[in-house]
Amino acid sequence: MAEAMPALPTPDQYPAVYQFKFCPLDATPLIRQLKHGLPRLCCPACGWVWYPNPSISATVIVEHAGGIVLARRALPPDVGIWHLPIGHIEFGEQPEAAAIREVYEETGLEIAELRFLTYELSPSYADSRMFYIVFGFVGRAVGGTLQPTAESSEVAVVPLAELPELKWRSQRKTVAAYRAMLTGS
C-alpha cells in the first residue's frame, strides 16, 4: 500500500533550494499565481512557471555467484552504510541505463537481464520537503570485476537469506519485491 503523503506543498512550503526569487530566463522577480490548481512561482514577463519535481533514482539487486551485491557508501549522506547500488537518473537517461551505469560505477560489475521490480515515492531523509522516486530493478552480474570504487569503500556478496536490514526504505521495498518474485507471490 502507498505510504500516506502530506498535502501537496505550496511555494511557501517548498524546500529552501526551490524557493526561487527570480525567473531563470530573464531575471524578472517571480510572483505567485494559480496554475493547474496550485499556487506556483511564475514569471509575469515571459510566463515561465516553476514546476518542482522529485529527484529520480534507480537501485539494483545484483545477482552474483554467492548472493546479492552490497556496496559500502563512501559519500555523504550516510557514509559507511551497506546498500544496494543506487544513483540518480540523469536528465534524458532511461531508468534501465542509469541502473546499469550506477552498478558499474559503484561495484565495477557489468549486469544483464535487467527486470523492473517496484518503485517508491518518498520524502528525502535529509529534508522531508524534498521527494524521491526510486525505481527498483534486479539484474545478473555477467562481467566486470567486483571491487571498491570512488563511490564505495567496500563491496561484498551476501547470501539473500543473510541480507542485513537496509537503511533506505526504497531498498527495503525493492528487496521485498524481489523476494515476492522469487516465491511467485
Q: Residue 59 in 3-state DSSP?
A: strand
Q: Closer to Zn ion by CB, 32 or 115: give it.
A: 32
Q: How many residues does the chain have?
A: 185
Q: Residue 11 in 3-state DSSP?
A: helix
37-45, 56-64, 102-110, 124-132 -> range binding Zn ion (CB under 5 A): 37-45
**CB atoms inside a 10 Å sphere around CB 115:** 12
**CB atoms inside a 10 Å sphere around CB 142:** 12
Q: Closer to Zn ion by CB, 28 or 149: give it.
A: 28
Q: How near is the Cβ of 39 to Zn ion at its closest, in Å?
A: 18
Which position among 14, 20, 48, 104 is part of the footprint of Zn ion (CB under 5 A)?
48
Place of cell 540523469: 90
Question: In 3D, which of 180, 183, 87 has the Cα closest to residue 135?
Answer: 87
**Residue 43 touching Zn ion (CB under 5 A):** yes
Place of cell 499556487: 39
**Residue 27 touching Zn ion (CB under 5 A):** no
**Residue 46 touching Zn ion (CB under 5 A):** yes
**Residue 26 touching Zn ion (CB under 5 A):** yes
6-14, 18-26, 148-156, 168-176 -> range binding Zn ion (CB under 5 A): 18-26
The dihedrals phi and psi of 80, each to the nearest 5 degrees, come to 100, -15
Q: Closer to Zn ion by CB, 29 or 80: give it.
A: 29
The dihedrals phi and psi of 98, each to the nearest 5 degrees, come to -65, -40
Q: Closer to Zn ion by CB, 25 or 176: give it.
A: 25
Which position among 45, 75, 142, 180 is part of the footprint of Zn ion (CB under 5 A)?
45
**Which residues here bind Zn ion, judged by CB under 5 A?**
23, 25-26, 28, 43, 45-46, 48
